[in-house]
Structure 1
Amino acid sequence: MADNEIFQYSIVSALMDGVASHGTPISRVLAHGDHGLGTFRNMVGEMIVLDGEVYQMKADGTVVHVADPERTVTPFATVTRFRPSVRTRAALQGKAGLAGLLARLFPAARNHFLAVRLDGVFRLKVRTAGGQAEPREGMVSVASRQTVHALDGVKGTVVGFRCPEYVMGVNVAGDHFHFISEDRQKGGHILELETEGEVEVAAAQMSRFHLELPTEDDEFNEAELKLQAQGIKDVEG
């Protein structure tokens, strides 16, 4: 795949229906991108792909580097070969501040995708999911047991995407970001975000989207996959 094209395995609605027992080796995902996010088999923890390396951020607050992506499976992931077209510095107050900045940087991208990376010092509230308690447990139920961590004055990197409204259910409409600390010891799915001073902002607008659906997966084949827009919004914060 070319730079700044999205590759996605499976869809968010599948996670909502608890389709997470199987998936694809992360190595196949990495063949399409070096920047992204997702989850792991049975929704155990949050995934961040940073500079081609994959990390699993767990509910107990620990972070594991995925050293063998050939043997580690993801039921959902979104990646791109990230080559920023815009770079700037900015201080951000809340997720709304980041949303406003991206709207100003890309005024013609309302119905396109954005890939985003922030580097600097942050104050954050992040969540990590502990995983399914039983097969086919849906994401709303899994998220009800999520662990929330407050990170104050932590240097690190934010990775993620802005997706247009029309892909809700296929992906997460709006902004979806994960964080990992510079020492690779802390991180998670971002619920709240502020910066301490200015941070480095890098972003790219994208117009090509490649979707691969699970095959030979009874869970996926049997799932209703009806849009649960409010449930997705509640889970993703």
Structure 2
Amino acid sequence: MTQNEVFQYSTMSALMAGIASHGAAISSVLEHGDHGLGTFRNLDGEMIVLDGAVYQMKSDGSVVAIESPADVITPFATVTRFKATANAKTAVGSKEDLLDLLSRLFPSARNHFVAIRIDGVFKSVNVRTAGGQQSPRESATGVANRQKVNTFRSVRGTVFGFRAPDYFMGINVAGIHIHFISDDRKEGGHILALESEGEVDVAAAQLSKFHLELPTGDDDFNEAELAPDAKGIAAVEG
């Protein structure tokens, strides 16, 4: 894949239905992108991909660098070969502020994906981390009921993720979906809320090509009755 194209493995509807026992080797996903996010087999934590490196942020608060991506499975991931086409140095007070900023940077991208990376110091970052399924096909909603929520304060780190158009709900997460990891690689998770400490460096790119790979040879995926669950996705993904 060339720069600034989206590659995705599986769908958010499948993840919501608990289709997470199998998946793709992370190494195969990395063939398509060097920045991204996702999760791990059995919904065991949050994934962030930065500059080709993969990190697993777990519910116990630990962060694990994935040193052998060929040996680790993801049931859902979205990646891109990220190259910024727009930059800004600005304060970000909330996820809503971030959405407004992206609309200003890309006024003609309402119905396109946008990838975003933010580097800097954050006054606060509120995150959650999935703790994993307790049984096969347990729904993402059930897992979310046990999720761990943390707030990091005055922390330097990186945010990466995507803003997806509304019509992608169920395939991906409509709206903004972003993950955070600290510079020391010891803290992170799926962002529920954030506020920068002064100005941060924002880099973003509009994405117009989307590639979707669906699971094959997976009975759970084949047997699932998949349908968009906008309310459930919004509750789980915050």
- TM-score when normalising by structure 2: 0.99
Distance across 2 between alignment mates of 1:218 and 1:160: 30
- Counterpart-to-counterpart distance in 1, 2:222 and 2:160: 31
Q: 1:177 & 1:118 partners in 2: Cα distance?
A: 10
| CA offset digits 1:11-65 (Å, max 9, x no partner) | 0000111100000100000000000000000000000001100000000111000
CA shift at 1:114, angstroms?
Answer: 0.3
Aligned partners of 2:85 and 2:236: how far apart in 1?
A: 31
Q: Which residue of 1 aligns with 2:236?
A: 235
1:206-235 deviation line (CA, Å, top 9, x unaligned): 100000000000000000011111000011
2: CA distance, partners of 1:232 / 1:70 = 29
Whole-angstrom distance in 2 between the partners of 1:127 and 1:36: 17
The 5 A counterparts of 1:127-142 are 127-142=128-143
The answer for the alignment partner of 1:25 in structure 2 is 25
What's the counterpart of residue 165 of structure 1?
166
SS at match of 1:194: strand
- Alignment gaps of 5+ in structure 1: none
Output the CA distance in 2 between the equivalents of 1:235 and 1:98: 20
| Residue in structure 1 matched with residue 145 of structure 2 by the alignment | 144
Matched letter for residue 71 of structure 1: D
Letter in 2 for 1:213: L
Equivalent position of 1:55 in the other structure: 55
Match of 2:175 in 1: 174
CA distance in 2: counterparts of 1:99 and 1:5, whole angstroms? 20
Cα deviations by residue, 1:73-103 (Å, 9 ceiling, x for unpaired): 0000000000000111010111111111111
Q: CA deviation at 1:128?
A: 0.3
Task: Measure the CA separation in 2 of the matches of 1:60 and 1:37.
Answer: 19
Secondary structure of the corresponding residue to residue 178 of structure 1:
strand
Instruction: List structure 1 runs of 4+ shifted beyond 3 angstroms.
Output: none
Counterpart for residue 6 of structure 2: 6
In the alignment, structure 2 segments of 5+ residues that lack a partner are none
- For 2:222 and 2:37, the matched residues in 1 are separated by 24
Structure 1 residues 149-228: aligned runs within 5 Å? 149-228=150-229
In the alignment, the residues of structure 2 paired with residue 61 and residue 153 of structure 1 have an alpha-carbon distance, to the nearest angstrom, of 17
Share of identical aligned residues, percent? 65
**CA distance in 1: counterparts of 2:228 and 2:101, whole angstroms:** 29
2-side partners of 1:48 and 1:93: how far apart? 22
**Alignment partners' CA distance in 1, 2:235 and 2:128:** 13
Which residue type is aligned with residue 172 of structure 2? N
Match in the other structure for 2:83: 83
Distance 2:219 2:28 in 1: 21
